[in-house]
Structure formats: structure tokens, C-alpha cells
Amino acid sequence: MFEKVLVALDFSPYSQKILNRISEIPGIREVVLLHVVDATRPSRLGWTHGPHIENSKLLLAEKKAELEKFGLQVSVNVDVVVNAITQGTVAHAILEIAETEQVSLLVIGARGINPIQELLLGSVSSTLLRDARTSVLIVRDTLPETTAAPDRQLFSRILVPTDFSGPADDVISVLKTCTGIQTVTLLNVVSHAETPKEIDEAVAQATARLAMLQQDLAAAGIVANTRIRVGDPTEMILSVANEDNVTLIAMNAHGTNWLRTLLIGSTTFTVVRRTKKPVLVIRTKKVPEQ
């Protein structure tokens, strides 16, 4: 599924953690390594960015050699943003390379947690998450150095929240093409019912629809568990992700109910901001439902 992957690197120790797990992405064959030099700001040596650019090329060559040991085809790119007005920002430079290279997945990092336990999404990560036209994998700096066991690989235990919209079903379709998945947890959150009767009816409907999705995944050889929760979608997604100790949360960027278009404040964006788990935000070329 994700044959060609773009990884934007900043050469931090965290970047190396990401590279150590790249080979776990299903279907990956080709990797584009990118480092963007922001020449619109002064470097440690003033406005001279030449040493930074040349050092970046050397570091990317080293990373390229590391990944080629996994049998991956690797290309490198050092892009320099000189004028933010005419060329845009670092984020826009990454998006442009992603479009030019026609990658199927963009891998980005997000750092740490703030005092209220939320993911620190910088302006670059936030822009990429919002504006990318391809699927995005967001990983954070708590990613283990190496894989301890097969059932802890990135795509081994996946949580899939669903509101039963077409875009949400697209996540299922994508996962059915992926190898290495051991279990999928299908979660529906009843968030609009108010009376006990309405809640009971919503739960009954969700139970039936989750069973159908479970059978669909079983036909593809994927074992799925089902969960139904009542309450706030974000809180329930975060809770189940921890309860089931998943390795990845997979969500679509579009939806018709609580999986709304990916904007700041949406369920998907809030989950990305608050979870400690990697999140795969899937974008398909289908037109979102209205």
C-alpha cells in the first residue's frame, strides 16, 4: 500500500528512531529522505548556511546507506528555503516535494508533551497534517528504539475509530491491503444519543454494523475486536487505545459525523495532539461525503 514514503528529517536522535522503524511500514519499497534548510533565519554562524547544507548532504548519505541495507530504494533531497514570501515555509517545501515525488505516505514527527499532557505539534507538523494530499503517519519521540517483538511493530495492533461514514470505511479498505497486521480494534463511540432508549438503540445499531466490518476484515485474514463506548469521541478513542495497548491509531482525514474534515479542533486533530500513540491519518482520493 505505502510503496513510496517521504521522511522529513531534522537529524535529531528522534529522527533516527523513526528510521529504525521505517522497514515496518507495509509494502514499502522506496524512501525519499528530505531535509529542509530554513535559510530565512540566521544560523549559528550568522546568515551563512553553506556549512549546514553541506553537512546535511553528508548526513543524508549516511542515512541512505543505512536504509539500503533493508533492501529499500532510497533517494535524498536537501531543499533550501531562502525567501519565505516567494518560496513559502519549510512545511510548504515538504508538501511540494511530496507532490513532486508522488509519495503514498508522508512520515513526520511530533515532539513531547506539554504540562497538560498534549502533543506538541509545531507549525510544520500542524501544516503538514492539515494540508497534505497524501496519507500522513505521525510518530512521537516516545517511539521505542527497536522492535521488541513482532506484536509491537507499528502496524501490528491497530485501533480504528469509525462513525460508519464512507471515509471511515476507506480506512478499513486500506488496512485490508496491508500485511503484518495481527489485530484490529474497531471502535464506535455513541456521542449524540441522550435518553436511555436512544442510547440502547444506537448501541444496537453499532453492534450490528461493527459485526459486519469484523466479518469483512476476517475475510481478508485480519482478526478484529469490537468496542462500543458512550461519551466524548476523543476521550473514548484515547482510553481504548491505552486499554488495548495498540501500536497505531488509524483514522481518516474526512468524515460525516464526529470524524469531521481535518481541521484544528476536529476529533482527528485532537486525537493526534493528545495521544502518545503513532497515528496514521489516511487520505484517499475520493471526494468526502457531505
Q: For residues 102 and 228, state if they share a domain.
A: no
Assign 115 a pLDDT band (cuts: 50, 70, 90): very low
Which among 140, 163, 193 is the end of a domain? 140
Is residue 145 in some structural domain? no
Please return the burial class of 159, using the count of CB atoms within 10 Å of its CB with bins 0-12, 13-18 and 19+: buried
pLDDT of residue 254: 67
Q: For residues 76 and 172, state if they share a domain.
A: no
Domain with 182, as residue range(s), is 150-282
Strand, coil or helix: 271: helix
Q: Tens of pLDDT along 147-199?
A: 556 668 899 999 999 999 888 899 999 999 998 899 999 999 999 888 999 99
CA distance 159 to 270: 16
Which three three-digit cell numbers place residue 278? Answer: 503513532
Is residue 209 in some structural domain? yes
Indicate the range of 131-135, 160-164, 234-238 predicted with least confidence: 131-135
CA distance 5 to 23: 10
Q: The cell 524512501 sits on which residue? A: 31
CA distance 126 to 139: 13
* Residue 147 CB contacts under 8 Å (≥ 6 apart), including other chains: 21, 24, 153
Over residues 93-114, the mean pLDDT reads: 83
Is residue 288 in some structural domain? no
Q: For residues 61 and 13, state if they share a domain.
A: yes
Q: For residues 89 and 19, state if they share a domain.
A: yes
**Range of 30-39, 51-60, 82-91, 223-232 with top mean pLDDT:** 223-232
Over residues 129-136, the mean pLDDT reads: 88
Please return the burial class of 275, using the count of CB atoms within 10 Å of its CB with bins 0-12, 13-18 and 19+: buried
How many domains does the chain divide into?
A: 2
Q: In the Cβ-directed half-sphere of 17, how many Cα atoms lie within 13 Å?
A: 18
Assign 222 a pLDDT band (cuts: 50, 70, 90): very high
CA dihedral for 278, 273, 91, 284, sign (positive or negative): positive
Q: For residues 159 and 215, state if they share a domain.
A: yes
Q: Can you give the CATH number for the domain in which 119 is found?
A: 3.40.50.620
Q: For residues 154 and 136, state if they share a domain.
A: no
Is residue 258 in some structural domain? yes
Examine the pLDDT at 121 and tell me if it is beyond 60.
no
C-alpha radius of gyration, the chain, whole number: 20
Q: For residues 112 and 231, state if they share a domain.
A: no
Assign 285 a pLDDT band (cuts: 50, 70, 90): low
Q: For residues 136 and 154, state if they share a domain.
A: no
pLDDT of residue 124: 77
pLDDT of residue 156: 94
Is residue 136 in some structural domain? yes
Is residue 185 in some structural domain? yes
On average, the pLDDT of the chain sits at: 83
Q: The cell 513532486 sits on which residue? A: 100
Q: For residues 166 and 95, state if they share a domain.
A: no
Q: Tens of pLDDT along 194-218?
A: 899 999 999 999 999 999 999 999 9
Q: Tens of pLDDT along 2-11?
A: 999 999 988 8
pLDDT of residue 290: 40
pLDDT of residue 192: 85
Is residue 289 in some structural domain? no
Q: For residues 170 and 249, state if they share a domain.
A: yes
Q: For residues 133 and 90, state if they share a domain.
A: yes
Which among 86, 111, 140 is the end of a domain? 140
Which among 140, 160, 192 is the end of a domain? 140
Examine the pLDDT at 227 and tell me if it is beyond 60.
yes
Q: For residues 192 and 71, state if they share a domain.
A: no
Is residue 290 in some structural domain? no
